[in-house]
């Protein structure tokens, strides 16, 4: 969706009013699109997400920028907002209000089994397969080739992108978005040893996804062995994330791409797991914990702690070790010198 094709336009004043900001400059400017600061042109509104981009502020061709009260930009009209990033998110929703396009009703090529309960306002795209007993709520959109298993319950205003598979018995709340080819409710990985090899432990639990959760593409969230695997309200999960059986994730947590969380682990509220983090099974990660990229979290972590490395250590401890690691060859030489001199 090239930003320049946008047909919506607003005055800067209009935009500011709608998002609770104030104009500093020419409120009559017409804004019809948004662009990154370094490539923006006339008609664009832009913002600064990372201080590395401050250098572009003087030279940008954008018509306007969203800033907090501290940053000056005399060459541009400004929307002032205490949270510029949030303000920009709100502006994007105003300029680009479209949802993924799916025709109303149920596509002729979709396969519906008996006894489904699909709200009349839901939209089911081409080549979807909805099994018996499934319920789909108001205004929910299945874009294409979505699989909905038996007795699955999906709430209102959900968006399921092409190739999403929701396996039997799982439930999604309202306003849940799931990106392409993600699998919800695959079997957990459990086997008992026996004389003839590994005996599968039948996985009879399900997955419960609460309201306002977003899950990226090609993720796997396994059903619980006996009870549920559960993702709490507002939690956001990036691509290629693995969530094993019986995991419980709290509210408003952020799970970045390629993270893996092992079975039965509990993740608190407001937790941030950076990319490629691995978390061991049967442990508890407290509220507000932050784990740095590729950390290997092998033990429970108390609320509010920042951890890094494998095995994961508390931030300051990890930094101290890291700093000295660089001096290790030097330390070795100095140790040798001391031995020789003694």
Residues 83-122 that bind its own copies (CB under 8 A): 83, 85-86, 88-90, 92-93, 96, 100-101, 107, 109, 111
CA separation for the pair 210, 229 (Å, rounded):
11
The dihedral over CA atoms of 209, 240, 217, 248, expressed in degrees to the nearest 10, equals 0
165 part of the interface to its own copies, by CB under 8 A = yes
Per the annotation, the verdict on 56 as an active-site residue is no
Residue from the set 25, 169, 173, 268 that interacts with its own copies by CB under 8 A: 169
Site residues (CB under 8 A) for its own copies, limited to 12-71: 34-36, 39, 50, 52
**For the chain, where are the alpha helices, taking DSSP H only?**
12-19, 84-95, 315-326, 328-341
Closest CB 123 distance from its own copies, rounded Å: 14
Tokens of 305: 């702690």
Q: Of 56, 212, 245, 252, which one is the catalytic site residue? A: 245
Residue from the set 18, 82, 138, 282 that interacts with its own copies by CB under 8 A: 282
With CB under 8 A as the contact rule, which of the stretches 14-22, 63-71, 116-124, 201-209 interacts with its own copies?
201-209
Closest CB 87 distance from its own copies, rounded Å: 8
Contacts of 207 (CB under 8 A, 6+ apart): 167, 170, 171, 184, 185, 221, 222, 223, 224, 228, 229, 230, 231
Burial class of residue 314 in the structure, from the number of CB atoms within 10 Å of its CB (0-12 exposed, 13-18 middle, 19+ buried): middle
150 part of the interface to its own copies, by CB under 8 A = yes
Residues in binding contact with its own copies, number by CB under 8 A? 121
With CB under 8 A as the contact rule, which of the stretches 10-18, 20-28, 66-74, 145-153 interacts with its own copies?
145-153
Cis check: omega of the bond before 311, within 30 degrees of 0: yes
Site residues (CB under 8 A) for its own copies, limited to 174-193: 177, 179-181, 183, 186-187, 189, 191-193
Which residue's structure tokens are 């709340």? 173
Which residue's structure tokens are 């490395």? 309
| Residue 330 CB neighbour total at 10 angstroms | 10
Closest CB 149 distance from its own copies, rounded Å: 8
Residue from the set 18, 82, 299, 327 that interacts with its own copies by CB under 8 A: 327
4 part of the interface to its own copies, by CB under 8 A = no
Q: Is 57 helix (H, G, I), strand (E, B) or coil?
A: coil
Site residues (CB under 8 A) for its own copies, limited to 224-263: 225-227, 233-234, 236, 238-240, 242, 244, 246, 251-252, 254, 256-258, 260, 262
CB of 245 closer than 8 Å to CB of 228: no
- Residue numbers annotated as active site: 245
């Amino acid at each position: 969706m090239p930003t320049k094709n946008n047909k919506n336009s607003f005055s800067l004043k209009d935009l500011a009013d709608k998002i609770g900001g104030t104009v500093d400059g020419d409120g009559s400017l017409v804004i019809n699109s948004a662009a990154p600061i370094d490539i923006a042109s006339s008609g664009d509104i832009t913002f600064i997400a990372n201080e590395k981009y401050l250098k572009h502020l003087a030279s940008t061709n954008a018509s306007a920028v969203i800033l907090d009260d501290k940053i000056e930009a005399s060459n541009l009209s400004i929307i002032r907002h205490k949270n510029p990033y949030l303000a920009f998110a709100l502006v994007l929703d105003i300029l680009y209000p479209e949802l993924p396009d799916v025709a109303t009703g149920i596509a002729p090529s979709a396969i519906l089994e008996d006894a489904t309960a699909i709200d009349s306002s839901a939209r089911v795209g081409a080549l979807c397969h909805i099994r018996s007993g499934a319920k789909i709520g108001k205004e929910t959109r299945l874009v294409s080739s979505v699989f909905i298993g038996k007795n699955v319950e999906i709430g209102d205003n959900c968006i399921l992108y092409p190739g999403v598979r929701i396996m039997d018995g799982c439930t999604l709340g309202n306003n849940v978005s799931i990106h392409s080819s993600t699998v919800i409710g695959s079997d957990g990985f459990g086997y008992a040893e026996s004389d003839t090899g590994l005996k599968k432990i039948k996985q009879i639990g399900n997955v419960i996804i609460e309201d306002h959760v977003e899950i990226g593409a090609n993720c796997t969230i396994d059903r619980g062995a006996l009870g549920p695997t559960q993702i709490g309200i507002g939690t956001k999960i990036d691509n290629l994330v693995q969530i094993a059986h019986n995991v419980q994730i709290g509210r408003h947590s952020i799970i970045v791409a390629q993270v893996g969380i092992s079975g039965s682990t509990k993740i608190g509220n407001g937790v941030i797991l950076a990319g490629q983090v691995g978390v061991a099974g049967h442990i508890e990660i407290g509220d507000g914990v932050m784990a740095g990229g590729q950390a290997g979290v092998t033990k429970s972590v108390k609320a509010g702690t920042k951890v890094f490395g494998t095995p994961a250590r508390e931030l300051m401890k990890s930094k101290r070790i890291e700093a000295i690691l660089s001096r290790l060859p030097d330390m070795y030489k100095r140790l040798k010198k001391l031995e020789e001199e003694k």
